[in-house]
Amino acid sequence: MTDKIAAAIVILGSPNTDDGQLYDVAVQRCILALDVYRNNRSYKFLLTGGYGAHFNNSNKPHAHYLAQYLIRSGVPKEDILEYAESANSIEDAVLSQPIIEKYHINKIIVITSDYHFERANYIFEQVYKDSGIDISFKTVQSDSSNSELNIADLIEHEQKALKKLKKYGLENYYKK
């Protein structure tokens, strides 16, 4: 049996380069997560992101690169739980759930970007609706004038994806 963990900081995946360098969006999420962690040293990190043509074509899961960033920033390896090797936002929530259950975590702080918040919140609410888990979000403010990614395209994607989610539900999202 594993020890109960007070809370987990869940960093949602975002793109990295083919050689594993984190784009600014991922780095900003890590910086925000580190701020939460520095004020709550009993919290652990649960990192999401596996592989996918739209965000990671490297030979390691995206979560690995997040972990390396956190470790270089002073986080002990033992404060990083196993990865949720997700390929999309729905899998972020679904694949995180068994890890959260394994460690008897009753509180999660989900770190994402402002443009992703509404959809991520909707997904996590659906996946965790009867779990009794206290879920909160902290978001990074996007700077479209200074990002390596096209934030306008990401915003458009999020709006379309949320509309589709609400129409078809999580179970049928990828079938439509």
Q: What is the pLDDT of residues 88-141, one digit of tens each?
A: 999 999 999 999 999 999 999 999 999 999 999 999 999 999 999 999 999 999
Residue 169 Ramachandran class (φ > 0 left, ψ -120 to 50 alpha, else beta) = left
Considering the chain, what is the average pLDDT of its residues? 94
89: nearest Cα among 175, 14, 38, 168? 14
pLDDT of residue 52: 86
The band of 73, judged by pLDDT with boundaries at 50, 70 and 90, is very high
- Which pTM was predicted? 0.94
E-strand stretches of 32-132: 44-47, 107-113
pLDDT of residue 2: 57
pLDDT of residue 54: 82
The band of 175, judged by pLDDT with boundaries at 50, 70 and 90, is confident
Q: How far is Cα 54 from Cα 14, in angstroms, rounded to an integer?
A: 9
Domains of the chain: 8-175 (3.40.50.620)
Number of residues written out for the chain: 176
Query: 147-163: per-residue pLDDT in tens?
Result: 888 899 999 999 999 99
Report the pLDDT averaged over residues 26-30. Answer: 97
Take residue 162 and report the two structure tokens written for it: 């949320």
- Does the pLDDT value for residue 3 go beyond 70? no
Q: How far is Cα 132 from Cα 138, in angstroms, rounded to an integer?
A: 19
CB within 8 A of 72, min separation 6: which ones? none
pLDDT of residue 140: 97
Residue 141 has a CB neighbour count (10 Å cut-off) of: 9
